[in-house]
A and B are shown apart, each in its own frame.
Chain A
Amino acid sequence: GAGVSQSPSNKVTEKGKDVELRCDPISGHTALYWYRQRLGQGLEFLIYFQGNSAPDKSGLPSDRFSAERTGESVSTLTIQRTQQEDSAVYLCASSRPAGELFFGEGSRLTVL
């Protein structure tokens, strides 16, 4: 596709359930980022993948959060045992090396 694609666009889940959020980056983009945006807040860095290098996981808020990326393609962000404070928009972005960041439209997660 032409842009960064994220799915689902909206997810409502019950507290304690696991959720998976998917990001399909722009073809050829080696770098992939996940950010969290709580309502009315800024973008909180979660994790960064760059090619085959070890990911920078320094922003993951707890061990309930994990992310994987296969090569330079799709990434999945998994949140286990969701809590109400996990409710947010999860934004994915990708870039070429030394290139501009392109964001997807985000996955809005609501934990009841």
Chain B
Amino acid sequence: QQQVKQSPQSLIVQKGGISIINCAYENTAFDYFPWYQQFPGKGPALLIAIRPDVSEKKEGRFTISFNKSAKQFSLHIMDSQPGDSATYFCAASRGKGTYKYIFGTGTRLKVLA
């Protein structure tokens, strides 16, 4: 019930393409779903987050799509760039900053120039 399942494990995309990473959760008490971006040797940094009262959130080239009934959410990176090459983690929590975050296993994205 505490798991967050993330796929794919790795992803290679051509420059300008769309990168899509998917996550699924089981615990319906989760109500905050952030995505983190991690570059080698650095800690994860918040990229974008969504709450279940909306089905989509867009910030620049990054979009989260949320399907509450299916308990799934996904990250779309439009016009992917080589600088987007990093590891991406989805996470889920009961509230923002008030409870432990459960992280997915990560997706290593490589964008080819």
Q: Number of A-B pairs whose CB atoms are under 8 Å? A: 62
How many residues of B are in contact with the other chain, CB < 8 A? 24
Does the CB pair B101–A98 fall under 8 Å? no
State whether the Cβ of A109 lies closer than 8 Å to any Cβ in chain B: no
Is B100 within 8 A of A103, CB to CB? Answer: no
B97 at the A interface (CB under 8 A)? yes
- Which residues of chain B are within 8 angstroms of A42 by Cβ–Cβ distance? 6, 89, 103-106
Contact of B89 among A43, A96, A98, A99 (CB under 8 A): A43
Inter-chain contacts of B36 with A (CB < 8 A):
103
Nearest Cβ on chain A to B91's Cβ, whole angstroms: 8
CB distance from B89 to the nearest CB of A (A): 6
Closest chain-A Cβ to B51's Cβ sits at a distance in Å of 12
- Please report the total number of A residues contacting B with Cβ < 8 Å: 27
Indicate the member of A33, A41, A43 with the most B CB atoms within 10 Å. A43
Does B102 contact A93, Cβ atoms closer than 8 Å? no
User: 1/0 contact trace for A93-112 toward B, CB 8 Å?
Assistant: 10111111101111000000
**9 shortest interchain CB distances as A-B pairs:** A103-B43, A95-B97, A42-B105, A43-B103, A99-B97, A48-B100, A98-B97, A42-B106, A42-B103
Query: What 16 new A-B contacts, CB under 8 Å, besides A41-B106, A98-B96?
Result: A33-B101, A41-B105, A42-B105, A42-B106, A43-B89, A43-B106, A44-B103, A45-B100, A48-B99, A98-B97, A101-B101, A103-B36, A103-B45, A104-B43, A105-B41, A106-B43
